[in-house]
């Protein structure tokens, strides 16, 4: 175990700390498949996935990542069986309630993005409590995409801008990219440099549609509950070896 840790630490040092992605976003797929392979209920996979997420959050804070966003629950996930949705919501409530204890000393700021109106009052209160509790922290900002959908987010922004035009606060000719970005849930978060998706899935699945215009994608066949720090290091090293031209030469 000690040798393995030393080897991991050496791999970490191979990262160019001057070329770290500012913002990493993760679509943590494969929780249900992980559980099914082991003859376990789906929630067991999500619980293990939750434990892995905590480890990855703390590791990102350790190596100097400024923003990490995880796709926790999409607007489409409501279509799943009610008992599974209820279990997921309970797990999210538990995750948030223990955040202070489990992320203690990490200087991590927690932020939730998405439409909160469909969430239970208890979960909304827990979100507000954790955000308030961590708002003064100056390390990694951990963004939890909860009841989040990229199309819904853009629709929300369009409605806000339309209202501003209707109220005479904004002229149509003054609507630009910055005005739209300023109305998104991520108005104060830089666009993701690197998006990671596990379980050999290669779709964007309605995640950060606007923000991912120039993101680098990295996918792997690892199920999320089996994802390790070494896999994150591999993804970052791959990112650092790419040339980002943003449409230029």
Full pLDDT tens readout for the chain, 249 residues: 554 444 455 555 589 999 999 999 999 999 999 999 999 999 999 999 999 999 999 999 999 999 999 999 999 999 999 999 999 999 999 999 988 777 777 899 999 999 999 999 999 999 999 999 999 999 999 999 999 999 999 999 999 999 999 999 999 999 999 999 999 999 999 999 999 999 999 999 999 999 999 999 999 999 999 999 999 999 999 999 998 877 766
Domain ranges of the chain: 19-149+189-240
- Backbone dihedral angles phi then psi of residue 240, each to the nearest 5 degrees: -70, -20
Let me know the angle formed at the C-alpha of 89 by 144 and 140, rounded to the nearest 5 degrees.
20
Residues 38 and 44: their CA atoms lie apart, in Å, by: 10
Strand partners, 27: 197
Q: Find the farthest-apart pair of alpha carbons in the chain and give their distance in angstroms, rounded.
A: 65
The answer to whether residues 199 and 224 touch, using CB atoms and an 8 Å cutoff, is yes
Q: In the CATH hierarchy, which top-level class contains the domain 19-149+189-240?
A: alpha beta
pLDDT at position 12: 56
**pTM (predicted TM-score):** 0.92
Q: E-assigned strands of the chain?
A: 23-27, 67-74, 109-113, 141-148, 194-197, 216-219
Residues tagged active-site: 29, 77
Residues 64 and 140: their CA atoms lie apart, in Å, by: 7
Residue 148 token pair: 């989040």
């Amino acid at each position: 175990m000690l040798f393995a840790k030393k080897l991991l630490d050496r791999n970490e040092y191979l990262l160019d700390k001057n070329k770290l992605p500012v913002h990493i976003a993760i679509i943590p797929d494969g929780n249900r498949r992980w559980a099914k392979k082991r003859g376990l209920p789906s929630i067991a996979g999500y619980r293990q996935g939750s434990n892995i997420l905590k480890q990855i959050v703390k590791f990102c804070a350790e190596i100097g990542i400024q923003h990490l966003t995880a796709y926790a629950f999409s607007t489409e996930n409501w279509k799943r069986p009610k008992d599974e949705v209820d279990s997921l919501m309970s797990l999210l409530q538990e995750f948030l309630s223990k955040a202070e204890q489990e992320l203690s000393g990490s200087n991590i700021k927690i932020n939730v993005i998405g439409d909160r109106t469909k969430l239970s009052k208890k979960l909304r209160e827990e979100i507000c409590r954790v955000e308030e509790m961590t708002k003064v922290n100056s390390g990694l900002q951990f963004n939890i995409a909860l009841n989040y959908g990229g199309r819904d987010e853009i629709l929300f922004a369009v409605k806000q801008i339309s209202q501003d035009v209707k109220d005479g606060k904004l002229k149509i000719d003054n609507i630009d990219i910055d005005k739209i970005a300023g109305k998104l849930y991520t108005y104060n978060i830089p666009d993701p440099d690197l998006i990671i998706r596990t379980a050999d899935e290669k779709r964007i699945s309605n995640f950060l549609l606007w923000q991912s215009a120039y993101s680098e994608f990295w996918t792997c066949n690892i199920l999320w509950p089996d994802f390790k720090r070494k896999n994150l290091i591999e993804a970052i090293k791959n990112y650092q070896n790419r040339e980002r031209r943003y449409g230029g030469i």
